[in-house]
Amino acid sequence: MSSRRAGEPDAAVWSWLRDRDRRILALLEAHKVLTTAQIAALEFPTLDRAQRRLVALARRGLLWRWRPAVVGGGSAPHHYALGYLGAQLLAAQRVEDPPRPGAWQTRLTRLAESPQLRHLLGTNQFFCDLVQYACAHPEECVGPEKGFGGLTLWMSEITAREWFGEFEGAGWVRPDSYGCFEERGRMVRFFLEYDTGTESLQRLLEKVKRYEEMATDAFGIVLFWLHSARRERTVHRALAKAIGGERLRFVMATAARDHGDPDGPAGAVWAVVGKARLDVDAASAQWLVRLADLPQRGPREHWPPLLDKPFTMAMIEQPTFHQRRFGMTAEEMKARGLDPATGQRAIKRNPYTGQPIKDDEVDIELYDDTGDDEDPVTLDGVQRRMAAQPPVRGRTDEPWSLPRNRKRQ
């Protein structure tokens, strides 16, 4: 007879779970689905150990796994998602109500049947390859800050779109992910656009236009991880035709997944748009650079990941309205003489009339703090000068009184 009573959870789960298991739950909550090989690259030394542990987690209900059918025969790797018990544990950590069992079952069914499953797995594979490269080359994957290197930030698609999503109803950037890679003392922050080869070139050019409308350089560069080398050449031709002789207002680089470089996306596979001429030269090896050698954009300080959620979130403040639109804070815009509302150069106005002041006009000074006593500014002089100005709406005709609708403090 079981010792568990109604309304009590299974206490054995807490004694059985390890820190690595909790990290796996957090990864699957953020990135929805990962294959056995992807989880092994992130958390296990060998594939065999990963398989045994993941099966045990799935049997306890912490994970849910399935194996999609393969067209033409064969078997696909097991896909893992967050199970209902795992969702309950994570909700308890955040002091939230757990999801309803029926709603969670529907969510898992939609995930398994989602037409975006291939796209989602491909995006996650990009970051898993970076982690695998960093584990194999720890001596090279060292960032500007001691103790950090390799992949130090991996935002999920949902988190990235919340940070850089639609703004004021206009079409804003919707990246597939946002990350940071550090190697040989360099730090490259990037937006990732994963291409399956099914989108039209017009759709891809619309994405480029959205990045043009945002202060992209304030956060990083834009990487397009394309389906094939042929697709990459086609994209470069379309971009050269669309922008003509002009330059993009942000750094954009492309790479093809059939490059064959043993270092994967960390290797010399990236072509910077505007420098590489892939549209006219098929022998493009001379234009290609490593990921860490791409231009550095965005903040230079390190964003350390949370201890229990590696690669998924960072302890940073969300960008403000002005940072997302203009690439600087409201205080920085004011210091540069820019209007925080429009981004245009602020217009100086007469404090009494409200009329614009031309550059060759001299502003009225009420106090003389230069210490020059030869021509002091007296109270009588200020009163005479203000009496000659028309009254300003909201003020009285008395020069030193407060507006009538405001009480003196």
Q: What's the fold here for domain 12-112?
A: Arc Repressor Mutant, subunit A (1.10.10)
The reported pLDDT for the residue numbered 404 is 37
Instruction: State yes or no: pLDDT of 318 exceeds 50.
Output: no
CA angle (91, 52, 2) in 5-degree steps = 60
Instruction: State yes or no: pLDDT of 128 exceeds 50.
Output: yes
Distance CA 196, CA 179 (A): 20
Q: 66: which DSSP letter?
A: E
- Secondary structure (DSSP) of 97-141: PPPPHHHHHHHHHHHHT-TTHHHHHHHHHHHHHHHHHHHH-TTT-
| Helix, strand, coil abundance in the chain, percent, nearest 5 | 35, 15, 45
**Mean confidence (pLDDT) of the chain:** 78
The residues spanned by each domain of the chain are 12-112, 117-315
The predicted model scores a pTM of: 0.71
Is 212 strand, coil or helix?
Answer: helix
Distance CA 226, CA 237 (A): 14
Looking at 303-358, list the stretches that DSSP marks H as alpha helix, in order from N- to C-terminal side: 321-326, 330-335
Distance CA 65, CA 83 (A): 8
pLDDT band for 371, please (50, 70, 90 cuts).
very low
**Count helices and strands in the chain by DSSP H and E runs:** 13, 12
User: Are the C-beta atoms of residues 361 and 355 closer than 8 Å to each other?
Assistant: no
Q: Which residue has the higher pLDDT, 326 or 190?
A: 190
